[in-house]
Amino acid sequence: MDVTQLLTRLYSDEGRQDPYPCYAGLHELGPVSPVPARAEHRSVAAVAVGYDLVGQVLRDPEWYKQPPPGWQEQEVLRTLQTSMMFVNPPDHTRMRAVFAKTFTPRRLGALEPAVHRVVDGLLDRMADAGETGFDFVAEFAYPMPALVMAEFIGIPAGELDFYRQRVERIDEFLDVAGKTPQRLAAANTAAAELRDFYADLIAHRRRQPGEDLISGLVEAVDSGDVGLSADELVSNLIVLFNAAFVTTVYMFSNGLPLLLAHPDVAAALPGDDALARGTVDEILRLEAPVHFLARAAPRDTELGGVPVAGDENVLLIIAAANRDPARFPEPDRFDPRRPGPPSLAFGVGLHFCLGAAVSRLEGRLALPKLLARFPRLAVAEPPAYSGSLFLRGIDKLLVHTGGEAA
């Protein structure tokens, strides 16, 4: 298959459920492939799947994120484009410096007791459900990171259902096939409601500060020592929570079937911290929640020998780069003790995910507890993926516990 045929298959229903054969086909064509000028998918000039090449572009600050036309007139796009995840230097550098001052090791270290407390409570609920089937996403994969991130950032737990509905509208719009007028309107409404929500929360933290991230950010902004407007503060909080929470949900829901398919690893996980760390990293490599990023060329250039004109976009397929056979021998094999380079699941370079440490902490602590409590946990029926090609994950996963450990 050529690149056009592979992209067409990738965007099909079959490709959305299992994109990896398409990624393997793209690897056979080389680390980067030009997209023909008349191709249906000519919104990008080239598609990059090679690990080294994708990492090279992500590390190069001159390759930039190109804002869509008319973004100032759309609430959701305005929110995204005024956050550090979507802007380029020097604005990105300025914004990230503010969060780096408050995203401290002390604040992260204080999360460990919260993770244990949240996980224990959710496992008790799973035990109460008995051995009958239930949805692992609804009972664990979603509430676990949501409750932890809510406590970390400072969102009242009672507001999470409100928050989740609006996050889902934005995520649906972000998919490559999600740019419909209906999804844009829903995402605009969701972004506006989240902005109002955070404005109220920030005002409350000014009156009654706590130990959460919002309180620390408000203090930093009000001191006048950092360059972050009130509008940018809200935009970054919306994007930070979404990025750190949704990716962790999918780390758990995508990772559990993978882990249970390797019972030797699942059985050894409790009590082996090194194995737990390796398991989290391998889940993220094989089932990266974020599959695509795009970067625009700063000038007429070549990428891996492929000409790219200035301002043209290159599609970087992170999930394919994580299975590059040139960097990961037997790339489709699950091996939590695998040596080699780190995955690109959280990006690299300027836009490396600020919430990566939180996600890894949650996975490292929660998965061993889950399998120690329910060593006979099993998937009850084959899962279906969300259908998104941007944030790919399992939204519903029926499991049964098989009873608690003796």
Residue 406 lies in a domain: no
Residue 276 lies in a domain: yes
Neighbouring C-alpha atoms within 13 Å toward the C-beta of 58: 26
Query: In the structure encoding, which two tokens stand for residue 16, read together?
Result: 């959305």
Q: Domains in the chain: how many in total?
A: 1
d(CA 109, CA 291): 29
Note down pLDDT in tens along the chain; length 406 residues.
899 999 999 989 899 899 999 999 999 999 999 999 766 656 889 999 999 999 999 999 899 888 888 888 899 999 988 888 888 888 888 888 887 776 777 777 788 999 999 999 999 999 987 677 899 999 999 999 989 988 888 888 888 888 888 888 888 887 766 678 898 999 999 999 999 999 999 999 999 998 888 888 888 888 876 678 888 999 988 888 777 778 899 999 999 999 999 999 999 999 999 999 999 999 999 999 999 999 999 999 999 999 999 999 999 999 999 999 999 999 999 999 998 899 999 988 877 887 888 899 999 999 999 999 999 999 998 888 887 888 899 999 999 988 787 6
Segments forming the whole domain that contains residue 312? 3-400
Q: What is the pTM of this model?
A: 0.91
d(CA 180, CA 183): 5
Quickly tell me which residue has 């090679």 as its tokens: 50
Residue 58 lies in a domain: yes
Quickly tell me which residue has 């969060």 as its tokens: 99
Residue 405 lies in a domain: no
Residue 88 lies in a domain: yes
* Measured distance between the N- and C-terminal CA atoms of the chain, rounded to whole angstroms: 53
CATH code of the domain in which 21 resides: 1.10.630.10
Residue 280 lies in a domain: yes
